[in-house]
Amino acid sequence: MKLLTVDDSKTVRIIVRKAFKGYDLNILEAANGVEGLAIAAKEMPDLILLDVTMPVMDGIEMLTKLKSNPLVKNIPVIMLTAEGGRDTVLKIAKIGVRDYMVKPFKEDVLLDKVGRILDLKLVGEEVEARRTILDKVQLLMVEDKPAIVEQVREGLKHTPWEIHHSTNTWNAVDFAQNNTVDLFLVSLNLPEDSSFELIQILRSNRKTKSVPVLAMVVKTDKNRYAKAQQMGFSGIVTKPLEMVELEARVARCMNLDMSPRYYSFEQKYMVIRFPEKPTGIDLSEISNNLSKKLSEAVDSGLSRIIIDLQNCKSLEVGIIKQVLQITQSCRDLSLEHALVGNDSIVEQGQSFEETKNWKVYQSIESAEELLQVPVS
Partner 1 sequence: MISELPIETERFNLIVANAVSSVFQTMLSRHIELDTTSSHDANGAPVRHIPITESGQQLVVGNIGFVGKLTGMVYLYMTYPFAINIASEMLGMDPHEVEEDEMVNDVIGELSNMIVGHFKNQLDEHGYGCRLTIPSILRGSNFEVEPVRSASRQVYYFSTPDDQHLIFDLLMQPGD
Contact positions vs partner 1 (CB under 8 A): 8-12, 14-15, 18, 53-55, 81-87, 102-106
CB of 216 to partner 1, least distance (A): 47
For 353: left if phi > 0, alpha if psi spans -120 to 50, otherwise beta; the answer is: alpha
Nearer to partner 1, 53 or 138 (CB): 53
- Give the integer Cα–Cα distance in Å for 275 and 188: 32
Q: Specify whether the CB–CB gap between 80 and 245 falls below 8 A.
A: no
Nearer to partner 1, 104 or 124 (CB): 104
- Give the integer Cα–Cα distance in Å for 77 and 282: 43
Nearer to partner 1, 12 or 231 (CB): 12
CB of 88 to partner 1, least distance (A): 9
Element (H, E) at 78: strand 77-81
Nearer to partner 1, 103 or 145 (CB): 103
CB of 22 to partner 1, least distance (A): 13
CB of 123 to partner 1, least distance (A): 18
DSSP state string for 10-35: HHHHHHHHHHTTTBS-EEEEESSHHH
Nearer to partner 1, 10 or 359 (CB): 10
Listed in sequence order, the DSSP H helices in the chain are 10-19, 33-43, 59-67, 86-95, 107-117, 146-155, 169-178, 194-204, 222-230, 243-253, 280-299, 317-332, 343-349, 364-372
Nearer to partner 1, 109 or 226 (CB): 109
Q: Specify whether the CB–CB gap between 212 and 176 falls below 8 A.
A: no
- Give the integer Cα–Cα distance in Å for 227 and 293: 40
CB of 82 to partner 1, least distance (A): 3
CB of 24 to partner 1, least distance (A): 20
